[in-house]
Structure 1
Amino acid sequence: MADPVRITFLGGLGDIGRNCAAIECRGELLLLDCGVLFADENMPGADFVLPDLEYLHDRADRIVGCVCTHGHEDHIGALAHVLGRFSFPVYASPFTLGLIRHRLEEHGVVNRTTLVPIGDHDRVGIGSFDCEFIPVTHSVPSGLISVIRTPQGVILHSSDFKLDLNPVDGRRTDLARIGAIAHDEGVRLLLCDSTNSEIPGSSRSETEVGEVLRRVFTDHPDQRLVVAAFSSHVHRVQQVVDAAVGSGRKVATLGMSMKRNFALARELGLLRLPDRAFMDVSEADRYPPGQVCVVSTGSQGEPRSALALAATGDSRWIDIGSADVVVLSSSAIPGNEARVARMINNLVSRGADVIHSDRMEVHTTGHGKQDELRTLHTVADPAYFVPVHGEARHLIAHAELAIKMGMPSDRVVTARDGEQVELSDRGLINRGKVTSGAYFYVNGKFIESNPELFGDRSILGNQGVVTVVVVVDRAKGRLVNRPRFISRGWVGDGNARDLERAGADEVAAAVQDYLAGGEGDGLERLVRRAAGQFVNHNTGRRPMIVPVVVEL
């Protein structure tokens, strides 16, 4: 019997983010991606969420490496934090490694790893795993499909992908190589991107967006163009640059990540721009608006991003006004819609003309839709299939698509974060949860695992806080002085003073009764209950009540 292979999903199956899987065989563990999930409105104060790290703690000495399929944060963003705890080599394309290296240097952990560059069609041994890497088209350069040869046969991981027949860089998804592997060796297990599994048809080519962008530049010859896109989307940035240079404009970058990634892509030959057409953003005001194009970060309206600051007049580099056309060359990530809408309103209020995907087709997805998924399934012809990379509805829709294509339902296995599938001579099974799948939240310099923290923050942010200070003399059984009510964010200053006095009197009466009864414990609970009842009865609000009891 051949050794079984186990795959444990530490993130990415239930969320669009924190993609990470642990592939294990013969006592070795290979990580496939190591990304973050961006915090949403239910995680106030958190920076982002890491994969479930619990599973790796007892297996740290078994990790032979991590393959990073492409340079998006939801696939590489957790590496700096994970390498702070564990040490292993990282394998990725040169562009992806460039993005990773910067993050590791920022966190001071670059010495915890060896960065190993891999190219299209390279075949590399990582521990006892035999890995081959196939070019794939996505919304970031140098994405790679992973072919992992194991005692149980070939595991094919699609990475994030689309089938763009006319990509900006001419680098297509190599379906021919996948077909050859399927014919010669067979694909035992397919792990495939599910992001757009609910959407019929095929995705638009990236080059079609370039045509729309050129029209925008042509239609606004006398206005400054500010185009916001993801800084890693080099193909989109290239098309913006081409449209700008073609209309006689100079190009400047705005935002630290755009500046950094722009330089990295030029250095690697992935972004073409003549030196004469490039300028620093500090020089932009020296030229007429019709001769300037600014490529910016902040398409998602992130509060401190370059474009969001410009929208509120807080940018040190550009002032947005009626001479500007702002293009949001992206779509809002789910959960960011309100933030993006607020930024658009701010930009329009400053006089800018804002073009977004609801007005013109200035964006296309980087993920294959149903027709593209069908094509990959047909070419790979896998014996077993696990949908990955998506929310629950995406995973289920992808599983149903595979079954409708004729794949036996017992060969389509769905999983969630924390669950483990096992591939053995008997087939593929879901072994259920082997780790919690817990969220690990990055809060500044700390990593937290208790979600109750955000419940407290939500109460503080929405209802405010009331602190009640009580000083008692236990020996004499009396209050030393009147309790103090101190509130923030509970009610406005005009109402707070009278309410605080009345609340102090009510708490004092409750404490006196308590002490007169001779009870020994529970004074802190009594103060919290008395103050809470007063606050809710008189204001209809439920702030956080913090009792402070000092006993003399």
Structure 2
Amino acid sequence: MKSAQEKLSIIALGGVNEIGKNMYVIQYNNDLIVIDCGSKFPDESLLGIDLIIPDISYLLEHRDKVRGLVITHGHEDHIGGIPYIIKQLNMPIYATRLTLGLIKGKLKEHGLLGTTMLHEIDASTNLTLGDIPLSFFRTNHSIPDCLGIVLDTPQGVVVHTGDFKFDLTPVNEQYADIHKMAAIGQKGVLALLSESTNAERPGFTPSERFVGNHIEEELSKATGKIFLSTFASNVNRLQQVIVAAEKTNRKIALVGRSMINVVDIALTLGYLRMPPDMLIEAQDVNRYPPHELVILCTGSQGEPMAALARIASGTHRQVGVSQGDTVILAATPIPGNERNVSRIVDNLFAKGVKVIYGSGSVTGMHVSGHASQEELKLMLTLMKPQYFIHYTWGVPHVVSAPFIS
């Protein structure tokens, strides 16, 4: 019989005007487990603010109960706040190999690497934080090494999916643990915390392999330099660019700090495979004929100081566009970034550059890393939770089962 003192809480800690996006807390009695610690960039309404991180006032008030920080994957909105939070609350961090590699880079930059407790986990890991056993299952997303988290609390199982989709033909052959998800659901799930980014999109999200074919086709047709801008963390897409560049006899140069850092980490850890003579320095671009070059750069979201914006305006110190070059924006603008992206596209067109941009469904150069409606239904069907929790515009919504007609 459960004690009257027993209490299970699911708490969302966000940043400025952003409740529930960046950090979740699962608390059972005196054990408090933190899931993810992200950051986001401010919009035009937040002048003078460089970065938004979670508000951890609750964690600081209960620091003696915090057992650890568990990370689902390595995107900025899930790890970007870590160095700032660790300075205030140094807790053990649990993450997969690639995610840890990205976290280590951030901690090193802030002088925290030597004082932070880091633990590598994978889909087969079982651990206990406080009195709460944790296990994991592999998911697909737009970055390798993604995990869903299972917390087996005395009051019931809580599952956090992280960001996911069901990619049946993943580029890196990291297949989702569908059978494991079904087994978790068979045992019983009290609450499912699941993403809802693409909840309004019908059908299934296409496989990342869909993009690779279009990239190779464009590289084979282009007669000038190819500039391809995408999220640096989309390692699977970067691998497809490398494969296409090899087939079309092109060298690759990296422009943009995050692109250089992520590629270096992914190559070192074996998540990217590249011929030894393919990668060249950005300052050496002019030594090669234009039809032998691919420049991978940051700035697909129109960030004013990112590499692509400076290339488009002609202010980049190392590389520039010329008439006959091709620029591919292999990403869909995040809502709010459309104006900045349009400004870059206008600047490129004015220089006589071919620009491939817009919806991924039209260009073939981008697919989402998030589940569409049928995949969200599949997750719910596999897990069979009593309660389903998702977050829309920062407001938590709890739906009691049965909820699928």
Alpha-carbon contact 1:33-1:66 (below 8 Å) kept: yes
Q: Which runs of 5+ in 2 are unaligned?
A: none
* Partner residue in 2 for 1:97: 100
Matched to 1:170, the amino acid is E
In 2, Cα distance between the equivalents of 1:145 and 1:48?
27
Measured in 1, the distance between the counterparts of 2:17 and 2:315 equals 37
Q: Is the 8 A contact 1:158 1:193 kept in 2?
A: yes
Aligned to 1:311: 312
Matches within 5 A, 1:402-551: 404-406=403-405
Task: Tell me which residue corresponds to 2:369.
Answer: 366
Report the counterpart of residue 380 of structure 1 in structure 2: 383
Task: State the Cα distance separating 1:45 from its structure 2 match.
Answer: 2.2
**Partner of 1:245: helix, strand, or coil?**
helix
Which structure 1 residue ranges, 5 or more long, are not aligned?
Answer: 407-552
Distance of 2:48 and 2:216 partners within structure 1 = 40
Q: Structure 1 CA distance, aligned partners of 2:321 and 2:20?
A: 33
After the TM superposition, list the runs of 4 or more consecutive aligned residues in structure 1 that deviate by more than 6 angstroms. Answer: none
Tell me the distance in 2 between the aligned counterparts of 1:43 and 1:112: 33
Q: Secondary structure at the match of 1:311?
A: helix
> Which whole-Å CA distance do the structure 2 matches of 1:98 and 1:50 have between them?
21
Same amino acid, percent of matched pairs: 38
Does the aligned pair in 2 maintain the 1:17–1:38 contact within 8 Å? no
1:421 alignment partner in structure 2 = none
- Tell whether the 8 Å contact from 2:13 to 2:19 is kept in structure 1 after alignment: no
Q: Following TM superposition, by how much is the alpha carbon of 1:12 offset from its aligned partner in structure 2, in angstroms?
A: 8.2
- One of 103, 120, 124 as aligned partner of 2:123: 120
Letter aligned with residue 130 of structure 2: G
Distance 1:270 1:356 in 2: 27
Structure 1 position 249 matched with structure 2 position 224:
no
Contact 2:230-2:300 at 8 Å conserved across structures: yes
- 1:30-49: CA deviation from partner (whole Å, max 9, x where unpaired): 10111112201110121121
Matching residue of 1:334: 335
Task: Identify which range, 123-132 or 246-255, moves more after superposition.
Answer: 123-132
- Structure 1 partner of 2:80: 77
Q: Is the aligned partner of 1:156 residue 2:172?
A: no
Q: Considering only CA atoms, is the larger Rg found in Structure 1 or Structure 2?
A: 1
Cα offset, 1:212, TM superposition:
1.1
Q: Deviations over 1:327-372 (max 9, x none)?
A: 0000101111101111111122222111113451210101001100
Count of residue pairs the alignment pairs up: 400
Pair 1:321 & 2:322 matched: yes
Equivalent AA in structure 2 for residue 212 of structure 1: H
Within 5 A, what are the aligned runs for 1:293-308?
293-308=294-309
Provide the residue aligned with 1:525 in structure 2: none
Q: Determine if the alignment matches structure 1 residue 353 to structure 2 residue 354.
A: yes
Taking a change above 3 Å as real, the CA distance of residues 367 and 81 of structure 1, as seen in their structure-2 partners, is: same
For 1:69 and 1:331, locate their aligned partners in 2 and report how far apart those are by CA, in whole Å. Answer: 23
Whole-Å separation in 2 of the counterparts to 1:315 and 1:281: 11
In structure 1, the partner of 2:215 is 213
1:191 maps to a residue whose letter is L
Structure 1: distance between partners of 2:15 and 2:376: 18
Residue 309 to residue 227, structure 1, CA distance change in 2 (3 Å): same
Change (3 A) 1:63 1:17: closer
DSSP-derived class of the 1:57 partner:
helix
Cα separation, 1, equivalents of 2:162 and 2:274: 29
Distance 1:12 1:240, change over 3 A: farther
Is 1:194 aligned to residue 196 of structure 2? yes
Structure 2 CA distance for partners of 1:376 and 1:12, relative to 1, 3 Å: farther
Deviations 1:396-432 (A, max 9, x none): 6x959x76514xxxxxxxxxxxxxxxxxxxxxxxxxx
Task: Return the letter of the residue paired with 1:372.
Answer: E
State the match for 2:277 in structure 1. 276
- The one-letter code matched in structure 2 to 1:356 is Y
- Tell me what 1:492 maps to: none
Give how far 1:268 is off: 1.4
Q: What amino acid sits opposite 2:312 in the alignment?
A: A
Q: Which amino acid aligns with 1:192?
A: S
Cross-structure match for 1:130: 133
**Aligned twin of 1:106:** 109
3-state secondary structure, aligned to 1:295: strand
Rounded Cα–Cα distance in structure 1 between residues aligned with 2:268 and 2:384:
39
Look up the match of 1:474. Answer: none
Q: Is the 8 A contact 1:88 1:112 kept in 2?
A: no
CA shift digits 1:60-113 (9 cap, x unpaired)? 121110001001111111111111111101000111111111111222223442
Q: Give the 3-state SS of the residue equivalent to 2:169 in structure 1.
A: coil
**Whole-Å separation in 2 of the counterparts to 1:23 and 1:17:** 13
1:45 aligns with 2:48: yes
Any conservation in 2 of the 1:296–1:307 contact (CA below 8 Å)? yes
Which of these residues, 4, 21, 24, is aligned with residue 7 of structure 2?
4
Secondary structure at 1:19 match in 2: strand
Contact 1:202 1:369 in 2 (8 A): yes
Residue matched to 1:442: none
Q: Distance in 2 between matches of 1:369 and 1:144?
A: 18
Distance 2:21 2:200 in 1: 21
Following superposition, the deviation at residue 17 of structure 1 comes to 7.9
- Give the whole-Å Cα distance in 2 for the aligned partners of 1:81 and 1:12: 13
